[in-house]
Amino acid sequence: MANKSIDHAITAKSLTTAASDPTHAGILSFMRRKYTKELKGVEAVVWGIPFDAATSNRPGARFGPQAIRRASAIFDNDPQYPFQRDLFADMATIDYGDCLLDYGNHARTPQTIEREASKILKSGAYLLTLGGDHFVTYPILRAHAALHGPLALVQFDAHQDTWPDEKGRIDHGAFVGRAAREGLIDVERSIQIGIRTHAPEDCGIRIVYGYELEEMRAEEIADTIIRHVDNRPAYLTFDIDCLDPAFAPGTGTPVAGGPSSAKILSVLRKLGALHIAGSDVVEVAPAYDHADLTAIAGSTIAMYMLGLRAEWLAERRG
């Protein structure tokens, strides 16, 4: 114990060192990364957006960032499975904390999120966001598109989120349609995986329905995504309700008939060929969770996103 410390999230002297906090104790940043607003020298940022006022069914995703951070404590900074590496040894990563939003003035929410996301992206860091409901992806896409141009949206979800929209409306079920109309995404290179509902329009986006997913192997799913996106910079968004409620009950709009967490994690592991410009995990609502099932799934998916980024950086450094 002499060489160990606690509360690594605030005591860490380096952004690439491993933590030694007991799993059951210590300040709960994401994977024990240092809490800081300092972006100099940072290569990856984890950021929370505790917002759920756009939810159409069960609220509670505003507590998602807290739940995901808590569940991530089980990742004890050993080489992370299945990446066989300490993700942070060569990727300076911080927990940027949460976005400060005025709960009484939702009209300002999109601009507040976009402004803060743009600040992070201008530093050159990769941004992984923890939601919050799925509306938060819209202003994040605006920030990324300003930097990269139209992105290929890779969306794991039970819902298309392309419902009719009105200017200024705050709705987690309409953000994809709005992003398509604004040219934030390249619809010809975008793809939705796990869809188990119908919306009035598809905006020209490729859909892999839940029943198709059930018949496909993980390798086939990943290959379908990679071939469709091609070499377009991609934004990876994961609505936790993509998973069957057996694996993610803690969400606002659960839909039966989805894939297992094991299958989808296998798919994610095979997406290393994509140029993923940014990512998020959304719609974790811990009030409906059981034994942290959903939070554990969400934190694992977020860890995989960082793992893919760590490998991407390693390949470019040779």
| Annotated binding-site residue numbers for Mn(2+) | 134, 157, 159, 161, 239, 241
What is the three-class DSSP state of 271? coil
Answer yes or no: are the C-beta atoms of 130 and 65 closer than 8 Å: yes
C-alpha pair distances (Å), 70 with each of 80, 119, 249:
17, 26, 17
Answer yes or no: are the C-beta atoms of 85 and 79 closer than 8 Å: yes
Answer yes or no: are the C-beta atoms of 277 and 233 closer than 8 Å: yes
What is the three-class DSSP state of 246? coil
- How many other C-beta atoms can be found within 10 angstroms of the C-beta atom of residue 298? 32
Q: How far apart are CA 279 and CA 125, in angstroms?
A: 12
What count of Cα atoms within 13 Å lies in the side-chain half-sphere of residue 170? Answer: 16
Which residues participate in the annotated binding site? Answer: 134, 157, 159, 161, 239, 241
Q: How far apart are CA 18 and CA 20, in angstroms?
A: 7
- Angle, vertex CA 224, rays to CA 220 and CA 226, nearest 5: 115
Pairing of strands 234-239, 152-156: parallel
